[in-house]
Amino acid sequence: MKRTSIISILVIVAFAMMGIGFAMWSDTVTVSASAQAGDLKFHYITGSSDSKDIAGDWTCDYGLRNIRGAVEGKDVGSTTITMEDTNSDSFQDKINVTVNNAYPCYFNDISWWVESTGSIPVIIQSAKLTWGGTEYDIISGKLYIFCMDRDTGAYNLIKVPSTVGNLEDYYESMDGVIEFKWGDNVGLQLHPHESVEQSFIFHVVQPAQQNTTYNFGLSIKGIQWNESPIPGHRP
């Protein structure tokens, strides 16, 4: 080995022993960055609700089929709709429904609008239905029956099996009073300041009791787009 090579190696070793490396001769580039978290705001638009029962009652067959106007322009039942701010953030997030003077065969179709007003896109996920003071997770497009025990007054919500043949007999055996179905725009991705319509339909069935007012509520769950367990889609 040449003498000059040996000297170079010894110099490198000496610097290393002193805690000095070649990095000392290079620039350090520091990247400074700041990030501001976005916010998620997803709520009902006040005053946006609508009801099919405006000038006269509607009816349908069991299973929420064959929807039609009631015969002879009957106008007996009615539906009252209110919106509620359940978490005191000044935004409405729950719709409450009161069915007045309910009678078997009374049908209604309720719609309203939800809006994304935060800075983060939101994807509509699912719904929670409140019946008899209990909150239930419900699935879009499925048929449910609200039950109220004739003897105890206890409430229950049951997803109706698709295998049921005679719905009228099934509802009678379950002490069912209202059949219900929700389902619009699940998986829809809303960008800030976009809105979309939601709706559900219900039908008072034969075991319903006379002179009884029925109350239930519905809230829609939305989650930020990058945490959604279901794929989002645009309108």
The DSSP-derived string for 186-201 is TTBEEPTT-EEEEEEE
Mean pLDDT calculated for residue range 105-119: 91
Distance of CA 27 to CAs 16, 17, 19, 33, Å?
19, 22, 18, 19
Mean pLDDT calculated for residue range 111-122: 88
Which range (43-47, 168-172, 184-188) has the least confidence?
184-188
Mean pLDDT calculated for residue range 70-98: 88
pLDDT at 155: 96
How confident is the prediction for the chain on average, in pLDDT?
83
pLDDT higher than threshold 80 for residue 40: no
Is 226 strand, coil or helix? helix
What pTM does this model have?
0.80
Mean pLDDT calculated for residue range 183-195: 87
pLDDT higher than threshold 70 for residue 126: yes
Q: Which residue has the higher pLDDT, 169 or 221?
A: 169
Which range (28-37, 103-112, 163-172) has the least confidence?
28-37
pLDDT at 25: 36
**127, β-bridge pairs:** 138, 220
Mean pLDDT calculated for residue range 205-229: 88
The answer to whether 147 and 134 are in contact (CB under 8 A) is no
Confidence band of 104 (pLDDT split at 50, 70, 90): very high
pLDDT at 28: 30
**195, β-bridge pairs:** 115
Confidence band of 72 (pLDDT split at 50, 70, 90): confident
